[in-house]
Amino acid sequence: MVIKQIIANNADIIPDYENKTLAVGLHALSAPGFNTAAQPLNETETVFMGSALRLVFETTAVSVCDK
């Protein structure tokens, strides 16, 4: 379910050529547990196809309690 959420969700993609990373800012997923579950994706150290940029996933989740 987490992967489905990530694929179907909006994201901000920000390349950082100096640090060789491609930050993928995931907008809040449908459940707080999904936001936490997305973090281990960084452990894969996946390089974006056709580049030397390593994918770095971040969530931009805002909790109702944070308002």
Asked if residues 37 and 26 have their Cβ atoms less than 8 Å apart, the reply is no
pLDDT digits (tens, 9 = 90+) for 9-49: 888 899 999 999 999 888 887 777 777 777 787 888 899 99
Q: Band of the pLDDT at 63, cuts 50, 70, 90?
A: very low
Total domains in the chain come to: 1
pLDDT of 55 reads 92
pLDDT at 53 over 80: yes
Q: Bigger pLDDT: 9 or 50?
A: 50
Query: How far is Cα 4 from Cα 27, in angstroms, rounded to an integer?
Result: 14
The parent domain of residue 54 ranges over 2-66
pLDDT of 61 reads 54
Helices (H), the chain: 2-8, 32-37
